[in-house]
Amino acid sequence: SVFSLSVPLENIKCYGFDMDYTLAEYKSPDYEDLGFELLRDRLVSIGYPHELLHYTYDPTFPTRGLVFDTMYGNLLKVDSNGNILLCSHGFTFLKRSIQDYYPNNFIQRGNTDRFYILNTLFNLSETYLDGCLVDLFTRCSRYENCQKGFKHGDLFMSFRSMFQDVRDAMDYVHDTGSLKESTLRNLDKYVVRDLNLPVLLTRIKEVAKVFLATNSDYNYTEAIMKYLLETPPGAKYPKKPWRAFFDLVVVDTRKPLFFAEGTVLRQVDTNTGKLRIGTYTGDLQHGTVYSGGSSDIVCELLDVKGKDILYVGDHIFGDILKSKKRQGWKTFLVVPELAKELQVWTEKNHLFEELKHLDIFLYFLMWGTSPCVLQVVTYRMDLSYGQMGSLLRSGSRQTLFASQLMRYADLYSSTCINLLHYPFSYLFRAPPVLMPHESSGDNHPLDFPSPEFSVLDQIQKIAEAKV
């Protein structure tokens, strides 16, 4: 299903798509496995201990949207105000000792020099590797544990430098093309080929304009899109070149820069994959591929206004926040984790219900007992998602990622293919968001004109009597 704030599809005159993790869904956890191994091996090759090779990717540990504290080496799950929901050091989850690091249980998110948000699906293997490194050095008897890193003789491994090494390895793996190469060599293993994708794009193109805007380069884009659109065995639709599915193809977009001033727009020579020099200024020609440019140029070339575009992408910051905030586009966030999130939510909904009651009763009735029960249930619920819990919540509190999704995504779904289930005249409507005071007095248990007559106050009085 597709979930939404209000978007009348009928008004959408133009659909834009990101490629990676949007049109091209990578198979999890195989693709993360691959990324992790390339990263890990790179670190060993630049001098990290060989013990690192014993680690393999564990998909049950990381959750997207965690924050790495480069000062203390902790992975943090936080809410939109910077309150800490969960904190791990290596693979050890901190409880009381969170206070030692963060006296106020709070981080100043604005301090981006210290706190790095691991926001994208590409960051998952990196997130896990950050955990592995802290785990490795913490356990390793050769190294002494210090506040800001590890010491071994004259050598100091700061958390900051370890984090930087992982980031650099990430760039290395992407820039040298080793990740792309491995992916292309084994497309069936790493990329989901959904026969409905050409169907969806064909249908959209009948009613609206369609463009592709990806940060990938042309050669990789060509290989992936060919695989997705041109060779589906047993496809019902007549075979046509992948570029024919789009009115406009733009590679090397450098989002989020693309949504601001952008870069020079160039034409791609589709025979060689190289850029043509100069800037193309003529009318839009079908099948032409461009490199660079900006969202403004796309609007101009396709002759559409921002509010008439629905842009589908997976990057909450680079694709969604920026296109909405700077350009007023309608946005569709692809959240592959959603399939699992929904499944857990449905299966474990009783835990959430339990939580809701515990929240209240724990505080009023069980003064004698510790609030641990609350934590235990939160923890049980979190574990249903994985060690780091849900992408979207921790117990009854929403994560930073969830709050950004709520603010900036008009639609979201686990895959863009789900659009196929809706007619193009469909009106997506969000359930109206009521503010606390707008919820009707009857069913809002805490909103009462005078405490004297409140049931909860009764409970309260009982609780006080018990003390």
Binding residues: 18, 20, 314
Q: Are 197 and 25 in contact (CB under 8 A)?
A: no
Compute the distance between CA of residue 445 and CA of residue 464 in angstroms, rounded to an integer: 19
**Six token digits for residue 66:** 């965690």
Q: Which of 156, 159, 160 is nearest to 144 (CA)?
A: 156
Q: Are 201 and 230 in contact (CB under 8 A)?
A: no
19/321 with CB nearer a second copy: 321
Helices (H), 86-186: 98-101, 123-139, 159-175, 178-185
Q: In the annotation, is 69 catalytic?
A: no
Q: Site for a second copy (CB under 8 A): which residue of 364, 366, 375, 387? A: 364
The DSSP H or E segment spanning 71 is none
Q: Site for a second copy (CB under 8 A): which residue of 85, 392, 400, 417? A: 392
Q: Are 91 and 74 in contact (CB under 8 A)?
A: no
Q: Site for a second copy (CB under 8 A): which residue of 51, 58, 230, 359? A: 359
Q: Shortest Cβ distance from residue 231 to a second copy (Å)?
A: 28
196/226 with CB nearer a second copy: 196
Q: Shortest Cβ distance from residue 444 to a second copy (Å)?
A: 6
Residue 325 binding a second copy, by CB under 8 A? yes
Of 332-351, binders to a second copy (CB under 8 A) are 338, 341-342, 345, 349
User: Reduced to 3 states, what is the DSSP secondary structure of residue 298?
Assistant: helix
The DSSP H or E segment spanning 66 is strand 66-69
Q: Site for a second copy (CB under 8 A): which residue of 54, 240, 307, 357? A: 307
Q: Shortest Cβ distance from residue 126 to a second copy (Å)?
A: 17
Q: Are 19 and 251 in contact (CB under 8 A)?
A: no
Structure-derived torsion over alpha carbons of residues 16, 20, 23, 28, reported in degrees to the nearest 10:
-150
Contact region for a second copy (CB under 8 A) — 18-26, 214-222, 243-251, 448-456?
Answer: 448-456
Compute the distance between CA of residue 410 and CA of residue 196 in angstroms, rounded to an integer: 23
Q: What is the DSSP letter of 257?
A: G
Of 55-114, binders to a second copy (CB under 8 A) are 80-83, 103-106, 108-110
Q: In the annotation, is 18 catalytic?
A: yes
- 294 HSE (CA, 13 A, CB side): 12
Residue 234 binding a second copy, by CB under 8 A? no
228/335 with CB nearer a second copy: 335
* Peptide bond before residue 336 is cis, with ω within 30 degrees of 0: no
Residue 303 binding a second copy, by CB under 8 A? no
Q: Shortest Cβ distance from residue 242 to a second copy (Å)?
A: 24
Q: Site for a second copy (CB under 8 A): which residue of 98, 207, 223, 360? A: 360
93/426 with CB nearer a second copy: 426
Of 251-280, binders to a second copy (CB under 8 A) are 264, 266-267, 269, 274-280
Residue 233 binding a second copy, by CB under 8 A? no
233/436 with CB nearer a second copy: 436
Q: Which residues are CB-neighbours of 443 under 8 A, at least 6 positions away?
A: none
Contact region for a second copy (CB under 8 A) — 67-75, 115-123, 152-160, 205-213?
Answer: 152-160
Helices (H), 46-158: 98-101, 123-139
Compute the distance between CA of residue 254 and CA of residue 252 in angstroms, rounded to an integer: 6
Q: Shortest Cβ distance from residue 243 to a second copy (Å)?
A: 18
75/78 with CB nearer a second copy: 78
Q: Shortest Cβ distance from residue 159 to a second copy (Å)?
A: 11
Contact region for a second copy (CB under 8 A) — 53-61, 202-210, 231-239, 442-450?
Answer: 442-450
Q: Are 83 and 105 in contact (CB under 8 A)?
A: yes
Q: Which amino acid is at 217?
A: D
Of 158-197, binders to a second copy (CB under 8 A) are 158, 160-162, 164-165
Residue 306 binding a second copy, by CB under 8 A? yes
Q: Please name the residue that has the structure tokens 């590409």.
A: 122
Kindly determine how many residues on this chain lie close enough to bind a second copy according to the rule CB under 8 A. 105
Annotated binding site for Mg(2+): 18, 314
Compute the distance between CA of residue 390 and CA of residue 352 in angstroms, rounded to an integer: 13
Compute and round to an integer the Cα radius of gyration of the chain: 25
Q: Shortest Cβ distance from residue 396 to a second copy (Å)?
A: 5
Residue 439 binding a second copy, by CB under 8 A? yes
Return the active site residues.
Answer: 18, 20
